[in-house]
Structure 1
């Protein structure tokens, strides 16, 4: 689990909203570019984020927020690898289906690649909303600090 210190800013409709807490150690750290704690912390510091919590909390409480790193890895593969495979598959299929001496074959190949890329992004978006993948990717409050 990737954990980050946060502060509860509001509670509404049984939903807890948090913002990133002060993380003074990350400011001077040389490993900042490759650190996952800094990555999740930078998202939390920019805005309030809704998180799930089974713990009774009130505004101003400091909490430890966590998200499963396996879930982040799978989401990264879905969002980066699938569109890339679709891009090359679309180009390959157009190249395979079009005759070699076809007029504007390169343009059709490029258009097919871009179209398959866009369709794959649209399908990923629809799959996320239909399969409620956003619910499972939500951070959770692990403990009160």
Structure 2
């Protein structure tokens, strides 16, 4: 948990939707691409009461996340915050989520192909390797989460004109 966030962080803007003790519930802001398509006039994504299945509002609600912040009571609902996570933690998470299952599948398939030389057995080896890789990824993600490496941190309050869009 002694990770430095002064450099090399991936930042995003999130809105506080609930303050509960030392916990902040945040919802990531919609990027600037929303509302710039040809059907933006008929889209219900900007309506607060439109949270039906498949809408942007329901997808944002599903993306809500919690951050433990010692001074959480200093923040208010509706406030915009800049949150960040270290690049190394993000890289470790991506390699865990994608690299381990992929490596397991390829290794299982290659071993079975080398040992038996039959496609069906190689495919079964790949499926077994994928399952082993997914299990390894789940265990590693649990360890990373327990150490707090996957948790974003509140970096600062967002300026009114600040966006996380890249052009």
Partner of 1:11: 19
CA offset at residue 25 of structure 1?
Answer: 8.2
What is the Cα-based RMSD across aligned positions, in Å? 2.6
1:1-145 equivalences in 2 (<5 Å): 1-21=9-29, 24=32, 46-47=60-61, 48-55=64-71, 56-98=74-116, 105-129=118-142, 131-133=143-145, 135-145=148-158
CA offset at residue 113 of structure 1?
Answer: 1.1
Count of residue pairs the alignment pairs up? 124
TM-score normalised to the size of structure 1? 0.70
Q: Which runs of 5+ in 1 are unaligned?
A: 29-41
Structure number with higher helix proportion = 1
Q: How has the CA–CA distance of structure 1 residues 24 and 78 changed in structure 2, closer, same or farther, with 3 Å as cutoff?
A: closer
> Where does structure 1 differ by over 4 angstroms across 4 or more consecutive aligned residues?
22-28
TM-score normalised to the size of structure 2? 0.62
Q: How has the CA–CA distance of structure 1 residues 7 and 108 changed in structure 2, closer, same or farther, with 3 Å as cutoff?
A: same
Kept after mapping to 2: 8 A contact 1:52/1:141: no
